[in-house]
Structure 1
Amino acid sequence: MHRSGTSALTRVINLLGFSLPRHLIPPSQYNVKGFWETQSVVDFHDRVLTSAGSYWHDWSRFNPDWYSAPLLTAHLEELKAILLAEFGTAGPIVVKDPRICRLLPLWLNVFDALQIAPTVIVPFRNPLEVARSLHQRDGFTEGKSFLLWLRHVLDAEQASRHLPRAFCSYEELLLDWRRLMDRIGRQASLVWSRLSV
């Protein structure tokens, strides 16, 4: 979910040995240390959401019929091309955009086609804190922010049940990132090549 520590977690994963995309979104006033994600993935997600009659801050369920739409193949090919352009064939990689929570089934199709075995890490933050942050940045009401938080967390949880995964709170990351990453590694069967950092 947006404003939940996804950028901080992604950077830690990167520092522990996972590759970031080649073209990063530059830092901004809303994230001065960096987003650690690529604009090409964000733009792709926005196009997919638009094609399904949705948008990033839509809290309604993503239309499951979209996955049988004629344009699905074109979207899958576009996402494959983005992944190869941003990451090449070197692994392991870390891919971050909170919109993935709602579009994980699409990503799983592409990972399967590219023979990538994904692991899902779902960061979460107190919804009151997320609501305050979204209100400050986007002017969203508390109610809308809570619904967005719930939609993103539930969609990510449901779509990742059959995958190696771990959940982590933003507070855990700030309190003791080494301990948190050790737990995530054990839960999700990930090996951090630089955990002694």
Structure 2
Amino acid sequence: MNTQSSTENRIIVVLGAGRTGTSLLTRILNILGMSLSEKEVPLSEQNPAGFFEDAEIVEIQKNFLSKLSCHPYLPFPVDFLKNQNISSFHNDVHSIVFKNINKTSTIWGFKDPRTPNLLPIWTRVFNKYKIVPKYVLTVRNPQSTVVSLHKQYGDSPQIAELTWLHRNCEALYHTGGNCFIVHYEDWFSEKAAMIGSQLLQYTGLAEYWGNERSVSDAMNDCVKPQLNRAVYNDYEIKNRYVIKLYSVLQNCHGDSFDRRKLMDVVVECRKAMAEFSGWPMMAQQFYRQQNRSVNQKTKKKLEAVEPKLQKSYEEKVQYVGDIQKYIIECKDLSDQNEHLRIRLSVKAKELQDTQRKLEAIEPELDRNRKELFTLKTSTSFKVGLILVKAVVKPGKNTLLFPLYLLRVLLASRAVKN
């Protein structure tokens, strides 16, 4: 664990309601020097440039919400900090935070739209381990946000408005308004470079920023006109508290703004939402029942198919066993083939050696064959052969010996003439 001074235990926390430019802001902070986790949430159609979200944080926060049986759009129960799963979530947060703090050479930061609801737990970790968080809140015109939430996730405009209001209020309330406020629309204006420079100072990233590159160039590389999706489609906000909060936020830029006025409106909005807390409670209860019903149906389906799954598993085990047996047999055959190949190679070499020897004695064999032929056709050989026959097989051969001898001599004389 990092036990150094609190000035060295710094974190940047990106907050936002979702579809408000949190990914773009995180990407900009990354270009300005903020370190991100090695394992990020993969790209998708919603964010083709990347989410820039820590996959571990997203996973543990989703799992914790599931254990709470809470929908991420709805307010949490007032006693959620007493939940038995808090300790486990606290430990997971602590582990991820210090793993990344100790690994980075600059300042580590993260973002996840679920974070505003869970800030009380994050705050406990920050306070316990003397971590200094720098909160950066990205705000987007609620008209654009509602249209984007409806387009990307199918959320109804009413739910999207409440999501925008709830998450912005939670982010501002739990940080006490001590944050740097960025407006999504400003990234696509002449203010972008100035905001980037202000973020360098606010977050502490300035000490890691070199002089070889201007902030303006960095913004031009990061902020592309085609990323600007601030389209309202003539939608009109219905919720008066959304209108009221955004009218105040429009005058809040950077970390220098009328914090008291902003927080007064935040408290007013949260109080208004609390007056209707019965509806969120019913919604959460319905959500839990639905999840329970879905889980029970899933359980029954699993129980129904369990015997088939078990049989399939056993068949696969047998199949794997057969495959392993075949692999062993194939290996044995391969070894035998290799042994035969070596033997054939040796025999081929011996055959080549024999062939060379035969080629070497072939001239001598030709001479011997010629000499033998000459010998067999000579008169002396023929006379000797007649004499041998007369001696070995007497009788006719002996009586005819003079005649045979005369014929050979006459033939020999004819050849000479």
The alignment's TM-score, normalised by the length of structure 2, stands at: 0.44
Distance 1:149 1:44, change over 3 A: same
Instruction: Work out which of the residue numbers 76, 85, 110 in structure 1 matches 2:90.
Output: 76
Instruction: Work out which of the residue numbers 149, 165, 183 in structure 2 matches 1:134.
Output: 149
Contact 1:124–1:168 (CA under 8 A) maintained in structure 2? yes
Regions of 4+ moved over 6 Å: none
1:54 aligned onto 2:70:
yes
Letter in 1 for 2:96: I
Instruction: Work out which of the residue numbers 160, 170, 188 in structure 2 matches 1:145.
Output: 160
- Unpaired runs of at least 5, structure 2: 1-16, 216-417
- Give 1:25 deviation, angstroms: 1.3
Q: Deviations over 1:140-192 (max 9, x none)?
A: 111110000000000000000174x1111101122232211233455x46343
SS of match in other structure, 1:121? strand
In 2, the alpha carbon distance for the partners of 1:150 and 1:133 equals: 15
Distance 1:88 1:23, change over 3 A: farther
SS of match in other structure, 1:93? strand
Distance 1:95 1:155, change over 3 A: same
Instruction: Work out which of the residue numbers 155, 161, 169 in structure 1 matches 2:176.
Output: 161
Instruction: Work out which of the residue numbers 206, 209, 219 in structure 2 matches 1:194.
Output: 209
SS of match in other structure, 1:28? coil
| Residue of structure 2 equivalent to 1:13 | 29
Q: Which has the larger radius of gyration?
A: 2
Instruction: Work out which of the residue numbers 91, 107, 110 in structure 2 matches 1:95.
Output: 110
Distance 1:86 1:24, change over 3 A: farther
The alignment's TM-score, normalised by the length of structure 1, stands at: 0.88
In 1, the alpha carbon distance for the partners of 2:54 and 2:100 equals: 8
RMSD of the alignment, in Å? 2.0
**Larger RCO, structure (CA 8 Å, separation 6 or more):** 1
SS of match in other structure, 1:22? coil
- Give 1:86 deviation, angstroms: 4.7
In 2, the alpha carbon distance for the partners of 1:72 and 1:189 equals: 29
SS of match in other structure, 2:138? strand
- Unpaired runs of at least 5, structure 1: none
| Residue of structure 1 equivalent to 2:257 | none
Q: Deviations over 1:109-142 (max 9, x none)?
A: 1223333200111101011111111111111111
Contact 1:21–1:87 (CA under 8 A) maintained in structure 2? no
Contact 1:23–1:86 (CA under 8 A) maintained in structure 2? no
- How many equivalent pairs are there? 193
Instruction: Work out which of the residue numbers 195, 200, 204 in structure 2 matches 1:180.
Output: 195
Distance 1:87 1:55, change over 3 A: farther
Distance 1:38 1:138, change over 3 A: same
Contact 1:19–1:94 (CA under 8 A) maintained in structure 2? yes
